[in-house]
Amino acid sequence: MPSVELPHGATTGIGGFPHRAAADAARCSLANLTIPAIPSLPRRSPAEGAIAQAMVGMQGITDGQYGSLSVDPARVDPLAPLSTDLQHDAFVGFRTFLELARGLEGWVSWRLVGPVTLGMALVRAGVPASEAFEAAVRTVRARSQHLMEAVAAELPATRQLVFVEEPDFAEAMNPGFPLAPDTAIDLVSGALAAIEGSAMAGLHVCGGGDIASQLAAGPAVLSLPVRADLAESAGYLVNFMERGGYVAWGAAPTSGPLSSSSERPWRNLSHLWCELVERGADPGLLRRQALITPECGLSAHTPAVAERVFKVTAEIGRRVRDQATATRWALGA
């Protein structure tokens, strides 16, 4: 578990940004998030899509037209070195943020696709499963090191929070998945461990999935959408927080009716926390070890909608900080 503390009630981003101009996305992140998130911009270019960005620089992957990629399954080699060229079209959002954020202090966050999801993408492209997942494991570990080094070089006064994004991990417990559940957990655990030496490692499984399996992978921060059924996993979450883990609560909706104020999302989060307290959670820990994020990525929306979602996120974060401070005073801290 982390030996450093994240600021309670801090806000950050999850997933892609909707902007087409990289500088606008960077400014949006810096202006609205207390832990600025380095943007990826799939609407600017398909090369900045999560899977495409993960594959760039692998042997057997070549650039196509308009930011697309081509996979030659016969040339994918798990032992081949990975190239991470920040001048590539896939990293325009990343490098632009680093340029505009020079002098930034405090925390910064960013994300990369994990080995289960990347491996599944390679399997779908025709790579044999054994080679696909071995290549994915090595690629994710190398990419995370390359990008952490780039951030440390350009933003030396920051600490990094790196989210491993694993949407396909939500299916890993289902019959017929190409990996055994324990193997899938081990792959994600290895990716998180590769990050932990230089940054705080988070896990985001878009759409939910089995909480126990996600925690078994060993994240320091677990990203979860605010859903009433999370109360059923109270025992796992209580144990996680008591050992120092943080939860990034996806409290600001990004699908369905989008809130124009924080009132309804705040009520939803407060109700969930009450349910968790009834099941044994410490109300102080819930607030002190909480980050607030949008529910998921914002790339399907407009920049104006993203700003609105970030403002709701910020207001919820402020309320969490106020309550966390009040809890400390009540305890005489």
pLDDT tens for each residue of 44-68: 999 999 999 999 999 999 988 777 7
pLDDT at 94: 99
Position 328 scores a pLDDT of: 59
Residue 66: predicted pLDDT: 74
DSSP 13: -
Q: Element (H or E) spanning 203, and its range? A: strand 200-204
According to the model, what pLDDT value does residue 327 have?
64
Are the CB atoms for 20 and 331 separated by under 8 Å?
no
Whole-model pTM: value is 0.94
- The alpha carbon dihedral of 289, 232, 313, 32 has a sign of positive
Burial of 27-40, coded b for 16+ CB within 10 Å and e otherwise, reads bbbeebbbbbbbbb
Largest CA distance in the chain: 64
Q: What are 7's two structure tokens?
A: 């600021």
Residue spans of the chain under pLDDT 70: 1-3, 327-333
Residue recorded with tokens 């990419």: 143
Beta carbons within 10 angstroms of residue 11's beta carbon = 28
Quote the pLDDT of residue 60: 96
Cα 298 to the chain's mean position, in Å?
13
Domain boundaries, the chain: 10-330
The per-residue pLDDT for 259 is: 77
DSSP sequence for 209-225: --HHHHHHT--SEEEEE
pLDDT of residue 1: 66
Say what the pLDDT of residue 58 is. Answer: 97
CATH no. of 10-330: 3.20.20.210
Could you tell me the two tokens for 194? 């590769």
- pLDDT at position 324 is 85
